[in-house]
Amino acid sequence: MKIFTMRWHRILFVMMIAGILATQTQANASGKTLAATMEVYVFPKAGQTGTQQSQEEAACYEWATQNVGTDPFDLSKQAAQQQAATEQAKANTQQGIPGSGARGALRGAAAGAIVGEIANNDAGKGAAYGAAAGAVVNRRRARRAQHQETQQIEQQGQAKQQSTQHQVENFKKAFGVCLEAKDYLVKF
């Protein structure tokens, strides 16, 4: 049983390194190092080779992921999803509340008919004026509520983006510390 567990851990470790190397290979295909894709600039102070630097960047990437608890590539995907969700929610609130003017018109007509009947014995005119006023008032209320909801959605989206940005910055710090310990000059 112990041998099986040890093999399983080795398999997981190899798969994890393969994933990092695949990410690194994709970055190299675009001409950037793993660090450069995260806007972290690394210079080898002790004459390390490009291959050695790539391996050490991969090791530091793994170390930073474990110590910070986040992966910047996953965070960027989450940020994109959050942005899309925020935009969709804003679009939904800006479509309006169907029937808000009609509901106001009905209430206004009822109130106007009563006032018209009492004031000058013309319930029809009172109902017409009341309907118009009720529709306008209700539409304004609906727009105001929509505006407040849109602002709230935007604020929540901004808070999530700030949190994500903070997590990315923490990851970059940990990644940089690891590379500096391996004798590289690191700038963000």
Predicted confidence (pLDDT) per residue in 41-98, tens digit: 999 999 999 999 999 999 999 999 999 999 999 988 888 888 888 788 777 766 655 6
Distances in Å between the Cα of 146 and the Cα atoms of 17, 82, 95, 98, 156 are: 49, 20, 9, 12, 15
Answer whether 50's CB lies under 8 Å from 120's CB: no
Give yes or no: residues 9 and 69 share one domain. yes
Give yes or no: residues 114 and 180 share one domain. no
Give CA–CA dist 52/81, Å, rounded.
Answer: 35
Chain mean position to CA 124: 54
Give yes or no: residues 19 and 66 share one domain. yes
- pLDDT reading at 14 higher than 50: no
Predicted confidence (pLDDT) per residue in 84-100, tens digit: 887 887 777 666 556 55
Number of domains in the chain: 2
Give yes or no: residues 129 and 61 share one domain. no
Give yes or no: residues 65 and 91 share one domain. no
Partners of 109 in beta bridges: none
Give yes or no: residues 69 and 92 share one domain. no
Give yes or no: residues 70 and 88 share one domain. no
Answer whether 53's CB lies under 8 Å from 120's CB: no
Q: Which domain holds residue 134?
A: 84-167
Question: Alpha helix locations (H) across the chain?
Answer: 2-29, 34-37, 50-68, 72-94, 100-120, 123-181
Long-range contacts of 111-120 (CB under 8 A, 24+ apart): none
Beta-carbon count within 10 A of 132 CB: 15
Give yes or no: residues 62 and 89 share one domain. no
Give yes or no: residues 102 and 151 share one domain. yes
